[in-house]
A and B are shown apart, each in its own frame.
Chain A
Amino acid sequence: MVKTGMVDRLVLSFIYGTLILLSLSVLFPIFYVVAVSLTPFEEVLRNGGFIVVPRAITWEAYRIFLTNDRIPDAYQVTFIITVAGTLINLVLTALLAYPLSKPRLPGRKIFLLLIVFTMLFNGGIIPTYLIVKATGLLNTLWAMMIPNAVSAFNLLIMKTFYENLPESLDEAAKIDGAGEVRTLVQIVLPLSMPIMATIGLFYSVGHWNEFFQAIMYVSDTAKFPLQVVLRGILSRSQSVEELSLEETMPTESLQMAAVILTAVPIIVVYPFIQKHFTQGVLLGSIKG
């Protein structure tokens, strides 16, 4: 018995140790990137490179970016596609999920089958590009919102949620003489706020991190979202060098400041909404 107790305590300390290391491995890179973004040029010269905790810091890199148009403009694009895109996602998903949750709807099975099929098979990225082009979305902000307007996966989660609402709601609404649209807007929607929040959050993180559709369909640099602009800043250092003409800031500091500017909204908002995401995964796993 005593031996088991000892082993148990050892195992437990090993677990605590591993978990602390794991947490540090997430936090340290973020901390280091912040440190680099705050390191002035003379520090780099003095130490022969970047160190983890610089002795002097400067906010110059952030000042340069926020007074220059590039990042603020990209912020604007990303903000628009996040807000408008999520709105489009939610409206279309709900309008499709609600009717499909009614077993009485004629043809329901066929519609569902056609939607599930799109999860299993797709035409490929080139034909999709040609359709986006044919529908006139190339080089517009719509190109980052419409071609992925409804996620079949989220649609199925929402449909399951509607199916689990009590049948009596529907009947009560009928007796009151409410039509389908009024039932959805006035009775079902208020009840489905939790699921709308969860799914809306997943959609909006997707838009904030938008990259794929932007590089596929948008070539006008003025319409690049944040992630694409950041990628440009990271891969072509001369594009940043021209920003710090007086050599006040090392290129790397500017690059890391851009990383932090892109990540901050997520890092700040995330702890408050984490719970919804975790619920979302579990909802999805029940379905899948």
Chain B
Amino acid sequence: MNFGQFLLRRLFLMIIVLFGVACIVFFIANVIPADPVGAILGGNAPPEAVDRLKAKLGYDQPLIIRFGNFITGAVRGDFGVSLKTSNPVMEDIKNYFPATMELALVAITISIILGITLGILSAVHRNKAIDQFSRIFSILGVSMPVFWIGLLLLLVFYFKLGWLPGSGRLGFFTYPPPRVTGMYLIDSIIAGQWDTFKEALLHILLPAFVLGYNATASIARITRASMLDVLRQDFIRTAKSKGLRKNVVIYRHALRNSLIPTVTIIGLVFGSLLEGAVLTETVFSWPGLGRYITTGMLFLDYPAVMGGTLYIALIYSIANLIVDILYALLDPRMRM
């Protein structure tokens, strides 16, 4: 099977997965015994008004027709109109998503760099101080809930020490950079506004670290385990028997082999990162898609919830597709 076929197959599988997610999202939203129309109009609305709004929103149609409409709309990128903001949901997503993507990308970057470094160091210096440190760090990361670490770090770095800003993407008096990607870090570089860049960076550090902490821990543990496993392999002995220096053996021969399981984990934790964004964004008042979905949920804004969830599922699938491609690049045996 060549690479093109591989890609086609993966894309086909992705469509099936997304269809499954769409089904689940739709039916959950429609079997919850809560009435968005009632929520909008209030309990004392006249029945005619209720009927009119139901007809306008399409809630008078049978479930299956509504499902058909939802799917055909979703394929065209049309998730309906948000009940709360009265904007098309897709437009809201376009506004909110870059903030989440920026947060998730910075978070995953921090966790990859920190996680892989910790993993390698603890495998190479097994049972030494750095290994013990990384073990404790990881156990804390896996076991503490995101919102709690978030509050704790806010307390220390914002409230007590005052080193880092507490909430939002920029200071209150700073204008966002001209929009190109919607990610302030990138946009401010494009516009050459270095002060804004620095401010955006300071704002994103804490939430990104909190969001990525769990992922960092997983990546560090997996990298350590797989590095230890690889270091026991025969070909490592061969590399040593060639008289290669320790660092060459570790970084040239062992690292690439040990990254294969790590890449899988990165794909998986990226999913939990998007999921964790919902909580992190709430704690840090980060105006992203996670918060959009959370507030949508509180207002029974189903189009927003369904659209936002499906969009996150799409991004997650794309992340996993990228992981599969990375696999093939790392391990020639996968290219068969």
Q: Do A and B bind each other?
A: no
Chain B residues at the A interface, C-beta cutoff of 8 Å: none
Chain A residues at the B interface, C-beta cutoff of 8 Å: none
